[in-house]
Amino acid sequence: MNLERRSRALTHSLLGMMLLASGPSLATEGPVATPRPQRCDSPAIVGDKLTMICAIEVAAAPQSVHIKIHFTGSHDDTTASMEVTLGDTPIACDAGSKTNTEFEDGDVTLDCRFTASAKPGTATILRASAKWFHAQYVAVEVNGRRP
């Protein structure tokens, strides 16, 4: 009986940790909901080009999405740019996003923030593409997580 009680307690603890680790709830936080974690492929890097594909399951409320691509070793002849599409539609990133850089020194980050909406419960393909010259790719993040 004591073993059975411990087993139940351990099961409840593990389920609680799994729910916490699965990310924020889809309840709305004001007008924009937090998106479910994306199922992203590892970025495909060929030379100085990157393509990353994620499946986003869209909830009933619009969802905020933030993509960052980090580089190091940038200097006076470095250029980098990124493009984002949701399904087949190019995304216009929100004001304050930085989708290209030229001639910056040191570590640089390209980022795109936007709000995703689609028919509730549907999966949509998010594609981020980047190209750069004279910098070293470091990492990509989608909503703070690395694929």
Any idea what the Cα angle at residue 147 is, between residues 84 and 59, rounded to 5°? 65
pLDDT tens across the length of the chain (147 residues): 444 444 333 333 333 333 233 333 323 334 444 445 467 888 899 999 999 998 877 666 677 889 999 999 998 889 999 999 988 889 899 999 999 999 888 999 999 999 887 666 666 888 999 999 999 999 999 887 776
* pLDDT at residue 48, rounded to an integer: 93
Residue 116 in contact with residue 65, Cβ under 8 Å?
Answer: yes
* pLDDT at residue 119, rounded to an integer: 66
Write the DSSP symbol of residue 114. E
Name the phi and psi angles at 111, rounded to 5. -150, 150
Alpha-carbon dihedral sign for residues 50, 85, 113, 40: negative
